[in-house]
């Protein structure tokens, strides 16, 4: 069985690399060097070359809060092209099943909590990431349309905030955890800047370790056939403030000073509390990596691989 993974050189792709030796499948992990997925002809050629039986679609044009705010057109256009091209080719080349990756940012800004899978299209997403969010929402629309018209087994998953080794640790464009890890690394160098957290630190988030998400993707490939999405998240009780995330990172890095908060920076959406009851009902025995353990592993990896890490 041949499984094509788009975005195979990204955070979740590296998570898959860590676990694929446990499975007797032929995984093909693509990177942007192999194919420009915004180009339909190139996407067709890569499908023609590999003839996949299954596809895990992870590829996306991504960034942190401030990239989403400042480059909304880029986020919308590039992700819309990537998603349309990949899903069209999955149909045209007879892929048996496709599992695509969405994001909790697709949910409405004004909503009740916890959010669940039925609420994706109930209102506009937060304005800070509307370009990316609307492009991601359309994967769900495409999955249902292909299922209704052609009977395709296309579905999607909605992970909460992902973190782990091999992330993008760029302070300007990366997500919150890798950005904070890079900041604390610089703050610990002689003469380096202080460890300053953008915003008040009060927003709440749920996080999932990249290898945990990789294992859940393989589970979904085999056991989840509904075209409607499923949330991959830890329990609601695991929600944590950005300030406490920063404290956990400082502890793992052995940073000795007090934290500073730059309240002139935007906080973004205050919370995105996700309901994982659907996952728990279908996969009740799944064990998530404890947050402190995942943070320590990621800090250790970044320290050891600082020179070659994306940053």
**Phi, psi values for residue 226, rounded to 5°:** -80, 135
Q: ∠ CA(200), CA(111), CA(286), 5° rounding?
A: 85
Q: What percent of the chain is modeled with pLDDT above 70?
A: 100
Instruction: Judge contact between 99 and 155, C-beta under 8 A.
Output: yes
Give the pLDDT score at 285.
Answer: 93
pLDDT in tens, 174-185: 788 999 999 999
Give the pLDDT score at 16.
Answer: 92
Among 132, 134, 146, 255, the one annotated catalytic: 132
Instruction: Look up tokens 């020179």; give the residue.
Output: 307
**Average pLDDT of the segment spanning 106-133:** 93
- The half-sphere exposure of 217 on its side-chain side, counting CA atoms within 13 A, is 34
pLDDT in tens, 11-59: 999 999 988 888 888 999 999 899 999 999 999 999 999 999 999 999 9
Give the pLDDT score at 195.
Answer: 86
Residue 72 has pLDDT above 80, yes or no: yes
Q: Which domains does the chain have, with CATH numbers?
A: 2-164+206-237 (3.40.50.720)
**Average pLDDT of the segment spanning 123-127:** 93
Higher local confidence (pLDDT), 123 or 20 = 123
Under the banding of pLDDT at 50, 70 and 90, the label for residue 166 is very high
Active site includes 224? Answer: no
Residue 63 has pLDDT above 80, yes or no: no
**Average pLDDT of the segment spanning 104-127:** 93
Under the banding of pLDDT at 50, 70 and 90, the label for residue 299 is very high
Give the pLDDT score at 266.
Answer: 78
Positions of E strands within 152-311: 154-159, 161-163, 196-198, 204-205, 207-209, 230-232, 240-241, 260-262
DSSP 8-class letter at 25: S
């Amino acid at each position: 069985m041949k499984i094509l993974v788009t975005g195979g050189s990204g955070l979740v792709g590296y998570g898959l690399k860590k676990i694929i030796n446990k499975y007797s499948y032929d995984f093909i992990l693509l990177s942007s060097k192999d194919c420009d997925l915004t180009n339909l002809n190139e996407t067709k050629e890569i499908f023609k070359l590999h003839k996949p039986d299954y596809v895990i679609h992870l590829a996306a044009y991504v960034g942190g809060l401030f990239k989403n705010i400042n480059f909304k057109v880029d986020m919308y256009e590039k992700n819309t092209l990537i998603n349309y091209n990949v899903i069209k080719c999955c149909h045209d080349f007879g892929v048996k099943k496709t599992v695509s990756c969405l994001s909790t940012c697709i949910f409405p800004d004004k909503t009740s909590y916890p959010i669940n899978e039925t609420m994706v299209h109930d209102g506009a997403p937060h304005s800070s990431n509307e370009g990316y969010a609307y492009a991601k929402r359309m994967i769900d629309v495409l999955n249902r349309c292909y299922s209704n018209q052609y009977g395709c087994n296309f579905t999607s998953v909605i992970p909460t905030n992902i973190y782990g080794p091999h992330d993008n640790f760029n302070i300007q464009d990366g997500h919150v955890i890798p950005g904070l890890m890079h900041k604390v690394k610089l703050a610990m160098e002689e003469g380096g800047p202080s460890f300053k957290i953008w915003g008040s630190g009060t927003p709440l988030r749920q996080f999932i370790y990249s290898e945990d998400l990789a294992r859940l993707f393989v589970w979904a490939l085999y056991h989840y056939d509904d075209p409607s999405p499923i949330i991959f998240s830890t329990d609601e009780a695991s929600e944590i403030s950005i300030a406490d995330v920063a404290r956990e990172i400082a502890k793992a890095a052995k940073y000795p000073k007090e934290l500073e908060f730059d309240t002139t920076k935007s906080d973004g959406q205050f919370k995105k509390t996700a309901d994982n009851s659907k996952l728990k009902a279908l996969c009740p025995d799944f064990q998530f990596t404890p947050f402190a353990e995942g943070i320590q592993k990621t800090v250790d990896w970044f320290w050891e691989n600082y020179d070659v890490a994306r940053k």
